[in-house]
Structure 1
Amino acid sequence: MDTKEVYDGKEVAIVSSPSEGSREVVSDVEEGEVFATGADGVNFRTVGWIRAAIFFLKMTFAAGVLSIPSALYSLGAVAGALFIAFWGILNTYMACLQGEFKLHHRSVHTVADGAYIITMQWSSNNVKLASTMREITEFFYIFTWIICAGVSTLGLSIALNAVSKHATCSVVFGFVAYFIIASVASIRKIHKLAWVTWVGFGSIVTAILIVVIAVTIPDRPAAAPQTGDFDLGFSASPPKGTTFAAAWAASLAIFSSSANTSGFVPVISEMKRPQDYFKSLYACMIWITSSYLALAITVYAYCGKWVASPALGSAGPTIKIISYGIAIPGLIAGAMICVHIAGKSLFVRILRNTHHLTNNTKTHWAVWLSCTYGTGLLGWILSEAIPFFSSLVSLIGALGFAPLGICLPTLFWFSLHPQALKGPMKMKVQWFFHIALFVLGLFTLFAGTYANIKNIIDQYKAHLVGTAFQCADNSGTVAT
């Protein structure tokens, strides 16, 4: 039976869904849409499912993939492969839950809006509490994507150092990388970013394939001793002496490389047919998980403990220059997406429910450019403050993607199935399954944060990393 409910002060129609315990927003209801436009407004809803899939692919297959081969050394080949498959499947499911929730609540733009809705639902419409939860979630959401922007900015500064053979101070390269990234990210519509994502995706895949092929040709890794016996360091199990902190941080680096699913939700608001989101999702995640398995295990098998992080430096200085040069468009595209998502979230947050959101006013442009260049700047500062690549990737998983990509989607499931515990055995089993997922999210958050902090401290003590805002070459040339 059709009903009407009020979300964010707007009345939307709800109808029963064929799936048990679910509900679905009527497809022609427009009141709740974030980017509903008038005659004079900018039409943001122009993205087809193929472009959305490419956007998701480039968003995911970015700087994070370059940390996976070194993560496998800390875990061993067997555990590393299992973690890649496990986190890939889990992150795909969490993305499904977020998509289902978005389709049920059309006013949702980011997961922070979802936090507001479920808090209203479970607190008897306590607006103050719901608003507080939205602010907290939005802070974590934007902060997470700023960290992502920082990782990608660091990756681009490493590439510029590698290609130029460290022609100037790394801080200067970092600032140049920030300005390029923020400028590209300032293109307003995802639809118009399609060419950037296509070129970027092709370039990063090509660069990684060059490295993968290059490491299989020599008799020994480029960083290994070139004469005499040497230990490759390839093993099915973790190396002797591996601590929990190091192993869990490595696992979180793998988790982070495909856990950015909270960034998929805003894209749905710009799709022509939001229902096609699941096509885009499955196309993206199947390719991502299978390619991670193939690429990471191949590089680890041939490089062992001599693998570089980022992985593009693993085949020696010549291949490093070539691969980084080819990867530059991909690194720009990946970083641009992070800044674009963080900036647009702030942009919508500031101008929502005003005509400035979709009209070409001075306020519209001033707020938009401030959001993109501002979030990009914060990302650059963060990348300079924590100048080691793998640890920064892992930190994203613990502090950001664990609560946003695991805990919150499981709460969305409980919201969509409020009577699950009182339903048939199938629904009860699902209820306990999602409780277990929520606990996993909390463990990932707290244990992961502990592991990363300890790992970062240990790296500083062992002088394995440089200092913050350093001018030294950060490109990690592995051999001459």
Structure 2
Amino acid sequence: METKEQIDYDVSAADTKIYSGTSSPKIEVEEGEVFSAGEDGVDFRTVGWIRAAMFFTKMTFAAGVLSIPSALYTLGAVAGALFIAFWGGLNTYMAYLQGKFKLQHRSVHTVADGAYIVTKQFSNGSEKWSIFAKEVTEFIYIITWIICAGVSTLGLSIALNAVSRHATCSVAFGFVAYFIISSVASIRKIHKLGWITWVGFGSIVTAIMIVVIAVTIPERPAAAPKTGDFELGFAALPPTGTTFAAAWAAALAIFSSSANTSGFVPVISEMRRPQDYFKSLYACMTWITSSYLALALTVYAYCGQWVASPALGSAGPTIKIIAYGVAIPGLIAGAMICVHVAGKSLFVRILRGTHHLTSNTKTHWAVWLACTYGTGLLGWILSEAIPFFSSLVSLIGALGFAPLGICLPALMWFSMHPAYHRGSLRERALWVAHVALFLLGVFTLVAGTYANVKNIIDQYKAGLIGAAFQCADNSGTVAS
């Protein structure tokens, strides 16, 4: 007779049991691991905690970090630093909650599976509402990661433009970036992506350090007037006239740079020891928050209002070419992870419950390549249709990471602690705190979307954004 551990259940079709007692009814979902190898199958569960930590770090320390220095100019040094610390701590905690929930529910592959289980519990076992919640969450999840892939594709096309001194049409560079990224993302197992993430992480850190060192040497920023007096624009508080929309959009750019924790969950399904996830999480987020504070504040302190976005262009044309050249492997690796996460989510959705999921069949390969190249293509189209880097990073935070990275983990906490609302004083205080976190996610979603839309409209009116699918140089070259 098969045991519970030997059966691979599809969460959308999982058996449920209802328990009642002193707390509200709780739905227990009978479930099994996502990946199980067949006779000629692929063993996906080979990732150790160090490799997972590097995957998380490269996933996070990517295109988003390049928008933080310009966000600091909008917010000022003090508020900017506080937002980096606050969002870093909050995103770490939300990633912790998602990991705890995943360990309790082994069938979870993405947060969409988590939405199904949470809704099943809170709706007293309603299949209709559970499936609806899962479908909506999965749509938001996949679209968010496709947009992330688009941002990263845009970053790579900017790098190719900068290094080549705009040798050809930017749209052509974008397509080349798409093909390279999707091809690398088509490596099936996260374990085998390890060396790419190490190389990518090293390259992006080196590129940023080149810029950080370079901006501290000249007497004035590269983009500032070459002679005469100039205003640096470095201040503790936001510049005079800063609107709520601009300030909140900048805050969301910082939030987005470490809010991709919903992408950590699928990696747990490929870890040899899922319990080691928390080691990977803490190693990643400690580096992310501390490096964001140090690197972004240094660039902002020396460049002020003359900082570029992406930040690699802040030290002048020569350093920009060098930095972008060094950063290309890192930009490829960061974009590759976005495409891989989105593609694998679709892949698991399509083939889950069939032997094709972990078997080397023609169907397996056809679906896998269609998912990676398809999501990469959508990301490239979005990067060409919405050609504004910082605003796009911020928009991801509002529309995608706010509901996925704040609201849903808060609901997962309620699912794991169903009776806390009428427990001890400490338990009730924790319940209220997580209600506040949920409301923060809702506010981030609503206010963030408003702020970003208004900010984008203002940029268009001011002529700061070019047209979609245009060949003009998108690398923001600093004049010498």
TM bucket (normalised to shorter chain) is over 0.9
Structure 1 CA distance for aligned equivalents of residues 192 and 355 of structure 2 = 22
Alignment correspondent of 1:311: 311
Structure 2 CA distance for aligned equivalents of residues 153 and 274 of structure 1 = 31
Structure 2 CA distance for aligned equivalents of residues 439 and 124 of structure 1 = 23
Alignment correspondent of 2:171: 171
Kindly tell me: are residues 377 and 401 of structure 1, through their superposed partners in 2, closer, same or farther at Cα, counting changes over 3 Å? same
Structure 2 CA distance for aligned equivalents of residues 218 and 476 of structure 1 = 20
Alignment correspondent of 1:404: 404
Deviations 1:163-190 (A, max 9, x none): 0000000000000000000000000000
Instruction: State the TM-score, normalized to the length of structure 2.
Output: 0.95
Deviations 1:220-252 (A, max 9, x none): 000000100000000000000000000000000
Structure 2 CA distance for aligned equivalents of residues 246 and 290 of structure 1 = 25
Q: Any gaps of 5 or more consecutive residues in structure 2? A: 18-23
Following TM superposition, by how much is the alpha carbon of 1:132 offset from its aligned partner in structure 2, in angstroms?
1.0
Alignment correspondent of 1:199: 199
Alignment correspondent of 1:450: 450
Deviations 1:69-119 (A, max 9, x none): 000000000000000000000000000000000000000000000000011
Alignment correspondent of 2:355: 355
Q: Would the aligned equivalents of 1:149 and 1:336 in 2 still touch at CA under 8 Å? A: yes
Structure 2 CA distance for aligned equivalents of residues 460 and 220 of structure 1 = 29
Alignment correspondent of 1:295: 295
Kindly tell me: are residues 322 and 12 of structure 1, through their superposed partners in 2, closer, same or farther at Cα, counting changes over 3 Å? farther
Alignment correspondent of 2:20: none
Alignment correspondent of 1:16: none
For 2:178, the aligned partner's letter is: Y
The aligned runs of 1:218-229 (5 Å cut-off) are 218-229=218-229
Structure 1 CA distance for aligned equivalents of residues 450 and 310 of structure 2 = 23
Deviations 1:365-387 (A, max 9, x none): 00000000000000001001111
Deviations 1:270-321 (A, max 9, x none): 0000000000000000000000000000000000000000000000000000
Matched, 1:280 2:245: no
Structure 2 CA distance for aligned equivalents of residues 279 and 428 of structure 1 = 29
Structure 2 CA distance for aligned equivalents of residues 479 and 221 of structure 1 = 12
Alignment correspondent of 1:61: 61
Instruction: State the TM-score, normalized to the length of structure 1.
Output: 0.95
2:173 counterpart SS class:
helix
Q: Would the aligned equivalents of 1:66 and 1:312 in 2 still touch at CA under 8 Å? A: yes
Deviations 1:317-347 (A, max 9, x none): 0000000000000000000000000000000
Matched, 1:376 2:384: no
The aligned runs of 1:426-437 (5 Å cut-off) are 426-437=426-437
Structure 2 CA distance for aligned equivalents of residues 222 and 139 of structure 1 = 43
Structure 2 CA distance for aligned equivalents of residues 308 and 479 of structure 1 = 12
Deviations 1:42-89 (A, max 9, x none): 100000000000000000000000000000000000000000000000
Following TM superposition, by how much is the alpha carbon of 1:424 offset from its aligned partner in structure 2, in angstroms?
1.0
Deviations 1:175-219 (A, max 9, x none): 000000000000000000001000000000000000000000000
Following TM superposition, by how much is the alpha carbon of 1:9 offset from its aligned partner in structure 2, in angstroms?
4.0
Alignment correspondent of 1:341: 341
The aligned runs of 1:228-243 (5 Å cut-off) are 228-243=228-243
Structure 1 CA distance for aligned equivalents of residues 58 and 422 of structure 2 = 42
Identity across matched positions, percent? 81
Matched, 1:148 2:148: yes
Structure 2 CA distance for aligned equivalents of residues 423 and 446 of structure 1 = 32
Kindly tell me: are residues 71 and 396 of structure 1, through their superposed partners in 2, closer, same or farther at Cα, counting changes over 3 Å? same
Report how many aligned residue pairs link the two structures: 466
Structure 1 CA distance for aligned equivalents of residues 243 and 433 of structure 2 = 29
